[in-house]
Structure 1
């Protein structure tokens, strides 16, 4: 009986730790602006930069401020570049890396992940490109049990949880680390300077790393593989407008997410150096995501806001998440001011 009760407390602890969310898997490296987090979307994106030779960027997401005492906060910094472009016939390598940090829930469940990525890109004729890549990373998660309350700490006399009441939940570890592996493929088609289409598929957690604070648990605590597919296009309507329709789907265990929509670039300066960005996306069954942004020369900043449309809107007043992205594209000095041909439409 005691063993069954302890297993019950452990199960409740896991639920509390993970934020009581049935969609916890969807929180894995989760950004609404997936198109501005290329290396976490697909490692084959490493060095796949249609309009530049290198890029660096940062993303920030703050989620569920209105319904959680400690909201989810996710930060990422990434960079990648094309190498050996002039030494490999009709192809090149991409090298890059990304650092992620996520803090979630009352127990300060903190995730820190560092990945290194490599990809190979091969031109297929003059109008298409095939890419394959993988990344290997180190992940660490830690928890502060002193900030958690468990079912056996509920004081029936007062009707509140009491941290002074001993709990039977004992963590075998409060910090764990593991190796994580991802792989992916990309294909791009660009028949002329007004049309660009790209699609990709990737598998994350290929090695199914074990992730648990309870070494004595009877549960299988290995991460299930996460599958991500995306499609996007860039269509030049005229010298003032470029439209970018796109869709993203991910599935892990029993959790899935579908995001679809479009953004546009509006040419403010005539030469394309100054652009206004706008767009609207929809996360199926969950939220509407408007986007606004601005591009100046090689810098692009964008902002999205998740407007909750699910039943959760009753509790959070439609306030889901805010997200910022800043990306800089650049060219190597060896071009001496003469930029190479872009694979996607540009002003």
Structure 2
């Protein structure tokens, strides 16, 4: 196929996909490493630590777009008031997300604060409920877009003054809210099972750069369900299977897979991480990582399996995550139950 024709096909496919992508929320392949954006009930739900902080970066479609999608997330959460409730505690946290998409530099900035409550049910299960409230801003640079008024009969001419039809704003802000539930079951020190469900955009905020048109300008609720397990077959290996499903409007996504940790030291301070996931109908996602002294680094790559693979050479998206977990110094002598298998 001639290079120019192939390039035109790539651009056509990418731009056919853009409206769908803009209509959907930000998402990560390593959903298990972005707990607060997956479910607000995860806030302070840290089975093997007292607090955690993390950062996440995703770059998508760099092989077919001159301006690939880039998403960054920074979050932190902690357990508090553990001595104020009988067999329970509170969790507080926050997350900041930044996203840049497309040639028009569609920029999204999201800042959320999260609160959750966790209650032990006997000695082998835990129920959690949480919500978050945030501020969202989206803006677009019209000077980086081309419009029909700039077509001179042969090609688009940037020197021609553009006519921006129907745009009434290039910067919009609104408040947003999510809520969720979690349930964990841990019958013994080698087994941990967790499932959760959350609803995003509970308040269905209005988001548009054009004149508001009733329900068509309001964000559809997004539903997310997940289930995972942490299994310890021996002192060297921990296996972590995961499944994740999300649905918003007419779009849905299912990701399944597992990763495993291999202990390289007596105390488990050094671990190798490897795994593979599959986004049904879209991509195979291998992942590798390393953990040292409660700091975990993981890298994954989306290898496209859909029809787009014929044009992007399997090059979908790359993600990098770093997470730090720790304990409060004042709780060094605490004998509270650890809620997941440990090396």
TM-score bracket for this pair, using the shorter chain length: over 0.9
SS at match of 1:155: coil
Measure how far apart 1:168 and its partner are: 4.8
Work out whether 1:328 is the aligned partner of 2:324: yes
State how far apart, in whole Å, the 1-side matches of 2:210 and 2:127 are: 43
Paired position in structure 2 for 1:187: 183
State how far apart, in whole Å, the 2-side matches of 1:337 and 1:331 are: 11
Conserved 8 A contact 1:19-1:104: no
Q: Which of 50, 55, 58 pairs up with 1:58? A: 55
Q: Between Structure 1 and Structure 2, how many residues are aligned?
A: 332
| TM-score, length of structure 1 as denominator length | 0.91
| 1:1-347 correspondence runs (5 A) | 20-21=17-18, 23-24=20-21, 27-156=24-153, 158-215=154-211, 220-336=216-332, 340-347=336-343
State how far apart, in whole Å, the 2-side matches of 1:56 and 1:264 are: 21
Q: 1:18 to 1:38 in 2, by over 3 A?
A: farther
State how far apart, in whole Å, the 2-side matches of 1:163 and 1:325 are: 42
Q: 1:37 to 1:19 in 2, by over 3 A?
A: farther
Measure how far apart 1:86 and its partner are: 1.4
Measure how far apart 1:26 and its partner are: 7.3
Measure how far apart 1:171 and its partner are: 2.0
State how far apart, in whole Å, the 2-side matches of 1:339 and 1:165 are: 70
| TM-score, length of structure 2 as denominator length | 0.92
SS at match of 1:224: coil
State how far apart, in whole Å, the 2-side matches of 1:172 and 1:155 are: 26
Paired position in structure 1 for 2:9: none
Measure how far apart 1:28 and its partner are: 1.0
**Structure 2 gaps, min length 5:** 1-12
How far does the alpha carbon of each residue in 1:140-199 deviate from its partner, in whole angstroms, 9 at most, with x for none?
Answer: 00000010012332222x233545153251521111100000000000000000000000
**Structure 1 gaps, min length 5:** 1-15
Paired position in structure 2 for 1:12: none
State how far apart, in whole Å, the 2-side matches of 1:88 and 1:217 are: 47
* Bigger mean CA offset, 22-31 vs 88-97: 22-31
State how far apart, in whole Å, the 1-side matches of 2:100 and 2:15 are: 11
Q: 1:284 to 1:20 in 2, by over 3 A?
A: closer
State how far apart, in whole Å, the 1-side matches of 2:250 and 2:159 are: 34
Conserved 8 A contact 1:17-1:109: no
Q: 1:338 to 1:297 in 2, by over 3 A?
A: farther
Q: 1:193 to 1:129 in 2, by over 3 A?
A: same
| C-alpha RMSD of the superposition | 2.0
Conserved 8 A contact 1:26-1:257: no
State how far apart, in whole Å, the 2-side matches of 1:161 and 1:216 are: 31
* Bigger mean CA offset, 258-267 vs 170-179: 170-179
